[in-house]
Amino acid sequence: MGFENILSKISKTSISGISTAATAIDTTENGSQKFHPMFAVFVVRTANTITLAPTVSIGTNASTYNNILPAAVLTGLTAAALTLILPITVASSNVSSNTQVFINVTAGTAVAMTFDVHLFGFYQ
């Protein structure tokens, strides 16, 4: 078995870091395999006077959306192009096929902030 195409990614771009909201990232592939998330990458797209980073969680469980990545503050993301990588450490974090995955944002304090999220994992 080769190592090509091992990692898969679901992503959402231009998420507001100054608005509290749950936003769909994407839907896992349709089929019989589950998606096993390994880590999330957050990349600041725009930043203006960030004084408090937003708190985020990722999941499939409605309203809290925290069963993949529990609440985490995006500490250090204060300027455009900065990146933060957070490992997935929740034991039951595999996601069934054709399931919508959400990011839940609790607003930070800034004049402006948008970021991208990329959830990497594999299907098995």
pLDDT digits (tens, 9 = 90+) for 71-85: 999 999 999 999 999
Distance of alpha carbon 17 from alpha carbon 108, whole angstroms? 6
Q: Which residues, 6 or more positions from 11, have their beta carbon under 8 angstroms from its beta carbon?
A: 25, 26, 116, 117, 118, 119
pLDDT digits (tens, 9 = 90+) for 9-64: 999 999 999 999 999 999 999 999 999 999 999 999 999 999 999 999 999 999 99
Two tokens, residue 26: 């994407």
Prediction pTM value: 0.93
The domain limits of the chain are: 8-123
CATH architecture of 8-123: Sandwich (2.60)
Calculate the CA dihedral of residues 107, 76, 46, 28 and round it to 10 degrees: -70
Q: Which residues, 6 or more positions from 4, have their beta carbon under 8 angstroms from its beta carbon?
A: none
